[in-house]
Amino acid sequence: MRNRERLLETARAMITEHGPGKVTMDGLAERAELGKGTVFRRFGSRAGIFRALLDDDERRFQEQVLSGPPPLGPGADAEQRLIAYGRARIPFLLDHHAIARAAMDHTQPASEDGVGMTQPHIRMLLGQAGLLVPLPLLDSLAVQLTAALEAPLLLYLSMDEAPGPSGSAHLLSESWQVLVERVMRG
C-alpha cells in the first residue's frame, strides 16, 4: 500500500511537470526509486498507471458527493445538488481528459467506472425533487440527463482535438444549470 501511494504521487508529479506523455513504467520506477517489477506488479501496464490515478480521483470525487459539504454533498435541496454536481463534474472530466485518454487500453474493454456514479446520483436527486412525471420516466430521464452531462466530454476521449467553444467547461456548466432549473421547475 505504501508503494502504491508513493508510485501514484510520483506519477502525479511527473504529469504536472512534463504531461502524461512522458510517464513510462521504467521512468516511474527510477524516479520513485523502486524496482521495475514493483511497478509492473502494481499496474500491469503503462495504461494501468493512469487507470489507478483515475480510480483514485474518482473515489475522492465520489466522497465529496456522498459526504462533502453542500451543495455538492448532502444538505442542499435536490435542484441545487444537481446543479452543483454538473458544475463539479464537467471540469473534473475536462481536467482528466489527458489522463483518461492515457488510461484507455485498446486490448481491454472500456472501463465504465466513471459513468457508473453519475446516473444513480441523478436518479436519486430526481426522485427527491418530487417531479410531476410518471415514475418509470424518472429512470429514462436520468439516462438522458447523464448523457447530457457526460457524453459531450466523453466524446472527446475518442478525438485528438480540443473541445470547440460550445464544449467549454464554462458554457457547458451554465447550460447544465439552465437545463436542470427548467427540468426541476418546469
Q: If we measure between CA atoms, which residue out of 171, 169, 180 comes closest to residue 126? A: 180
Instruction: Say how far apart CA 152 and CA 131 lie, in whole Å.
Output: 26
Instruction: Say how far apart CA 65 and CA 73 lie, in whole Å.
Output: 4
Binding mask 138-157 for a copy of itself (x = CB under 8 A): -xxxxxxx-xxxxxx--x--
At its nearest, how many Å lie between a copy of itself and the CB of residue 40? Answer: 28
Query: Using CB under 8 A, which residues numbered 102 to 131 contact a copy of itself?
Result: 110
At its nearest, how many Å lie between a copy of itself and the CB of residue 110? Answer: 7
Judged by beta carbon, residue 74 or residue 116, the one nearer a copy of itself is: 116
| Contact status: 133 vs a copy of itself (CB under 8 A) | yes
| Contact status: 176 vs a copy of itself (CB under 8 A) | yes
Reduce the DSSP state of residue 177 to 3 states and report it.
helix
For the stretch 14-22, contacts whose Cβ atoms lie closer than 8 Å and that sit 24 or more positions apart, written own/partner, are 15/53, 15/98, 15/99, 19/98, 20/50, 20/98, 20/99, 20/101, 20/102, 21/102
Judged by beta carbon, residue 13 or residue 151, the one nearer a copy of itself is: 151
Q: If we measure between CA atoms, which residue out of 69, 57, 63 comes closest to residue 11? A: 57
From 22-30, 77-85, 91-99, 178-186, span contacting a copy of itself (CB under 8 A): 178-186
Q: What is the DSSP letter of 43?
A: H
Cβ proximity of 136 and 123 under 8 Å:
no
Judged by beta carbon, residue 14 or residue 79, the one nearer a copy of itself is: 79
* Identified binder of a copy of itself from the candidate list 13, 66, 162, 178, rule CB under 8 A: 178
Binding site for a copy of itself (CB under 8 A): 110, 133-134, 136-137, 139-145, 147-152, 155, 158, 165-168, 171-172, 174-176, 178-179, 181-183, 185-186
